[in-house]
Amino acid sequence: MKLSEIAKIIGASFDGEDIEIDSMNTLSDATSNELSFVANSKYVKEIANSKAAAIICDEKTASEVPKESVALVVAAPYWQMAVVSEYFAPPLEDNDAKEAIIGEGSVISPKAEVANGAVIGKNVQIMAGVYVGSNVTIGDNVILYPNVVIYRDCKIGSNCIIHANSTIGSDGFGFATNAQGVHKKIYQNGNVILEDDIEIGSSTTIDRAVFGATLIKKGVRIDNLVQIGHNCEIGEYSVLVAQSGSAGSTKLGRNVVVGGQAAFAGHLEVAPFNTFAARSGITKSIKESGKTFAGFPVMNHREWLKLQVKLARLIK
């Protein structure tokens, strides 16, 4: 879209050079032909180094926008970002793409559906009820059990196993809310990337990113009924047990072990080689490595055990 069109849609004044905007992205990742936004004070420090062609912002942050970028000043940047996101959303299926490419030795059930533009590697087994969306790429030696759904543009590495009813690439839970309490959908225009040697249990959901990718790194093991939010990053060889969940943009380091029903708040960073007991509630970033945690709010596992003993004595 032309920048002038975007300005008109969101009601921002615009009198600079009218350039073509290809897509939307975060402040830190945006390029000179992309649109970004800032709606949270914690990200103001990223404005100065942003290469975005234009930035949706409010009057308070407009002065922080570099000269190379255009400031699109509005009263509610987050809401207007949600409005614009719809215009950059791709079609649900790319029917004009070339017919799917199927690798040698792959077996696809006649009851499965592979959309145009998909690329399937060698020796892949796709069982009944599976849906593989437009422009999905799947590596070699992958097994997709019945009713697995892979939304468009997602990437699955080699030697992966995804069990029945799991969904890769569904929309992240993103909404802007105005002063009247009305919710506006933020279109999730990124994707999900699964690297090699990953196994995912049944009925697990991994949401696609708003921008960029939700990333599951090599060797990860994910149990049944796990929720991974948009833009999360799960480090190599991490293990996530059933009913655990990660809110959006949380990053887990290598070999993190997450017990059943443990949950992470959004935008956290967890150091490698940490273990979280079942039902842990993690609300702050963890910078130490090699520790075991438990409880809510989370604490050192030994301290949590001592606390439980003292509580039991109080009851007696």
Dihedral (Cα; 284, 285, 287, 290), 10-degree rounding = 80
Check residue 108 and report its DSSP letter: E
Q: Is 267 a catalytic residue?
A: no
Of 163, 183, 230, 301, which one is the catalytic site residue? 230
Q: How far apart are CA 217 and CA 268, in angstroms?
A: 17
Q: What is the DSSP string of 190-246?
A: -EEEE-SS-EE-TT-EEEPPSSSEEEE-TT-EE-SS-EE-TT-EE-TT-EE-TT-EE
Point out which residues pair with 101 in neighbouring strands: 119
Within its chain, how far is the Cα of 46 from the centroid?
20
**∠ CA 157-87-152 to the nearest 5 degrees?**
20
CA distance 168 to 130: 12
Burial grade of 241 (CB within 10 A; 0-12, 13-18, 19 or more): buried
* Catalytic center residues: 230
